[in-house]
Amino acid sequence: MPKFLTKAQRLGPAALIMASSVFLSRFMGLLRDKVISYYYGAGPDTDIYFAAFVIPDFINYLLAGGYFSITLIPLMNRYFREDFRHGWRFFSAAFWWVVIAIATLTLLAWFFAGPLAALSAPGFDAAAQERLAGFIRIILPAQACFLPGACFTALLYMRRQFSVPALTPLIYNGCIIVVGVAFFYIFPGSGMEGFLWGVLAGAFLGSLLLPFLAVRSKSSGGLRLFMTLQHPGLRRFILLALPLMLGQSIVVLDEAFLRIFGSIGPEGAISLLNYARRIMMVPVGVVAQAAGVASFPFLASLAAAGDRRGFDRTLNAALLTTLAVIIPLALWMMAAAEPIMRLIFEQGRFTGADTAVSAALLAIMLCGVAFWAVQQIIGRGFYANENTLTPVLTGSLATALTLPAYFGLARAFGPYGVAGAGVISLGLYTALLLWRWQKHYRDEALRGLGGRALQLTGMGLPCACLAWMICNLIKNALSGHPLTGSFVSLAVSSLCFGLLYLLICRYFAPRVWQDVIGQILRKLR
C-alpha cells in the first residue's frame, strides 16, 4: 500500500481530502444516475431498482452502519491510549460481533425477501413486487461488506488517515457503472440487474478489501485482529450504538421514505425523486458532510481531553463556515434547477417532461439544504461527547411526528408532497436538535448561528432572482438548442450570482467576508 494513502493528515488537509472525495463521489453518483437515466429513463424497472435498496439500507441503519466510525473512534482513542494491546482486543471483539450480526440479518432478509418487498413498495403490483424481491436478494450480501469495512475505516479515521476512505465511494460507484453498462450490452434482456451486481462488486472491492489492505499496511500502523468476543469496553460500545440502532431519524430514513411513499405516486415517481435528491445531496456532501467527517476526529480528541473552549470554537467555526458556503450555493441551485436537470439527465430515455418534474422536485428539496448542513455538524458534536442517545431520540421523535405528513402529502400531491414532507421533517429535526444542544451544553458553539443564516439568506435572495431571470432569458433565446442553452444558463447565471453576492457581501456583511470569503481568497492566492 503506497505510503501517501496511509499517512496522517491535519484538519485543513483532511477537510480538503474529504471535500474532494465527496465531490468526486457525488460526481460519480451523478454519472451513475446519468447512465441509468440514459438507458432506462424514469420507468417501472428503474423504480424497482431504486426500491430494492430500501431493505438492505434499513439493515445497515439497524446496525448503525453509517455511525460505526462515530461510535468506535472515541472508544478506540481511549483504549489505545491506555494500552495498545488493550485497544486491539476491544477492536477485535467489536469487529467479530459486527460480522456475526450482519451475517445473521442478511440471511434472514434473503429468505424473507418476498414479504419485505411488499412492505418496502406498497404501491407496486404483484409482478413488480416479485421482481423487486429478486433484486433485493442480489444486493443483500453487499451489507456483509459494508459493516466490517466500516470497522476498518474507523481505524483509519482514528489514525487521521483519510486518503483510503476518500477512495472507497469512487471505487463503489465506478463498479456499479462499469458492470451495469456491461450487462446492458452483454445481457440486453436483464434490465437493471447488471447495476445490482455492480453494487455487490463495488461493496467488496471499495468498502471492504481496500480499507482492510490499508489498515494492515505497515505504513498505516498495521492490524492485529484477535479471535475474541469479550472485552469490558463492549458494554460501553453497545450503549453508544444501541440508540443509533433503535432510533431511526429522518437523516437515515429520508431516502427510504422517498422510495416507500413514492411508490404511491404515478409510474416513474420513485426514479424522479431519486434523480432530484441526487443533485440536492451534492452540496450537502461536498460542503456539510465533508466538514462534519473531517472535524469529527478533532472534536472527539478535544472532548476526550476536556478542552471545552477549544471544542466550542472548533464546532462554531465549522457551523458558521459551512452555512456561509452552502446557503448561497443552494439558492443559486434553486434558481438554476431546470437547466441543471436538463443538462445532466435529459438524454436517451429521459424526456423533457421528466426534466420539468424533477426540476420542481429539486427546488423543493433544496429548501432543506441548510438543515442538512447544521444537523451533519451538530450531530457529530453530540457523538464526540459520547452522547448518541439525545440526537437519536430527537430524530426518532421528529420522524414519528412527520410520518402523517409524508402519507397525507404523498396522497394529495404525489412526488411533490413527498419532497415537501422531507423538508418539513428535516427542519423539525434540526430545530429539536439545536434545542437539545442548548439544554445539554453551553451556547458558545451556537453563537451567531441564527443571525448568520438569516443574513446569508437575505444576501442570496436578490442574487437568486437575478440568476433565475438569466436562466429563463437564455432558455427562450436558445430554445432550439436545449443542452447548449442549459450549459450557457449555468455558466452565466453562476457568474452573475457570484459577482453580485461577493459585492453585497463585501459592503453589507464585512464579518462574513473576513471570516469566510477572505480566507478562501487568501488560500487561493
Residue 431, H or E segment: helix 415-440
Distance CA 286, CA 164 (A): 17
Residue listed under C-alpha cell 471492504: 208
Distance CA 318, CA 11 (A): 11
User: Where does the pLDDT of residue 61 fall: very low under 50, low under 70, confident under 90, or very high at 90 and above?
Assistant: confident
Q: What is the pLDDT of residue 19?
A: 63
Q: What is the pLDDT of residue 468?
A: 95
Amino acid at 368: G
Model pTM? 0.76
Q: What is the pLDDT of residue 389?
A: 76
Is the same domain home to 118 and 34?
yes
- 482 occurs within a structural domain: no
Residue among 385, 236, 240 at smallest CA distance from 303: 385
Rounded mean pLDDT, 431-446: 83
Q: What is the pLDDT of residue 264?
A: 84
Q: Which three cell numbers stand for residue 14?
A: 483532511
Spatial CB neighbours of 16, under 8 Å, sequence gap ≥ 6: none
Q: What is the pLDDT of residue 362?
A: 95
Is the same domain home to 94 and 238?
yes
Rounded mean pLDDT, 421-437: 90
Give the number of domains in the chain.
Answer: 2
User: Where does the pLDDT of residue 384 fall: very low under 50, low under 70, confident under 90, or very high at 90 and above?
Assistant: confident
Range of the domain at 388: 248-445
Q: Which three cell numbers stand for residue 45?
A: 424497472
First to last CA, the chain: 34
- 368 occurs within a structural domain: yes
For the cut 70, the answer to whether the pLDDT of residue 513 exceeds it is no
> Can you list the alpha helix ranges (DSSP code H) found in 478-517?
482-508, 510-512
Q: Report the mean per-residue pLDDT for the chain.
A: 83
| Among 397, 422, 445, residue at a domain's last position | 445
CA–chain centroid gap for 292, Å, is 11
- 356 occurs within a structural domain: yes
CB 138 within 8 A of CB 201: no
In this predicted model, what pLDDT tens digit does every residue of 137-168 receive, in sequence order?
Answer: 999 999 888 888 888 888 887 777 777 787 88
Higher pLDDT, 216 or 368: 368
Cα atoms in the 13 Å half-sphere on the side-chain side of 230: 0
Distance CA 266, CA 144 (A): 34
Q: What is the pLDDT of residue 489?
A: 92
**Which three-class secondary structure state does DSSP give residue 462?**
helix
Q: What is the pLDDT of residue 12?
A: 55
Q: What is the pLDDT of residue 150?
A: 84
Higher pLDDT, 228 or 510: 228
Is the same domain home to 328 and 435?
yes
Is the same domain home to 273 and 373?
yes
Is the same domain home to 290 and 400?
yes
Spatial CB neighbours of 354, under 8 Å, sequence gap ≥ 6: 37, 41, 42, 268, 272, 345, 346
Distance CA 283, CA 167 (A): 19
Distance CA 478, CA 484 (A): 8
Is the same domain home to 218 and 355?
no
CA–chain centroid gap for 408, Å, is 26
Higher pLDDT, 57 or 20: 57
Work out whether the CA dihedral 276, 282, 287, 292 comes out positive or negative: positive
Q: What is the pLDDT of residue 504?
A: 87
| Among 416, 445, 474, residue at a domain's last position | 445
Of the chain, the percentage scoring pLDDT greater than 70 comes to: 88
Lowest mean pLDDT among 52-61, 249-258, 452-461: 249-258
Q: Which three cell numbers stand for residue 47?
A: 423504480
Phi, psi angles (nearest 5°) of residue 53? -85, -10
Distance CA 424, CA 415 (A): 14
User: Where does the pLDDT of residue 515 fall: very low under 50, low under 70, confident under 90, or very high at 90 and above?
Assistant: low
Is the same domain home to 235 and 290?
no
Is the same domain home to 123 and 188?
yes
- 20 occurs within a structural domain: yes
User: Where does the pLDDT of residue 347 fall: very low under 50, low under 70, confident under 90, or very high at 90 and above?
Assistant: confident
Q: What is the pLDDT of residue 523?
A: 53
Lowest mean pLDDT among 164-178, 232-246, 323-337: 232-246
User: Where does the pLDDT of residue 517 fall: very low under 50, low under 70, confident under 90, or very high at 90 and above?
Assistant: low
User: Where does the pLDDT of residue 365 fall: very low under 50, low under 70, confident under 90, or very high at 90 and above?
Assistant: very high
Is the same domain home to 154 and 254?
no
User: Where does the pLDDT of residue 29 fall: very low under 50, low under 70, confident under 90, or very high at 90 and above?
Assistant: confident
Is the same domain home to 433 and 359?
yes
- 483 occurs within a structural domain: no
Q: Tell me which range, 55-59, 391-395, 430-434, is most confidently predicted by mean pLDDT.
A: 430-434
For the cut 50, the answer to whether the pLDDT of residue 4 exceeds it is no
User: Where does the pLDDT of residue 272 fall: very low under 50, low under 70, confident under 90, or very high at 90 and above?
Assistant: very high
Is the same domain home to 217 and 263?
no
- 465 occurs within a structural domain: no
Is the same domain home to 311 and 398?
yes
Phi, psi angles (nearest 5°) of residue 77? -55, -45
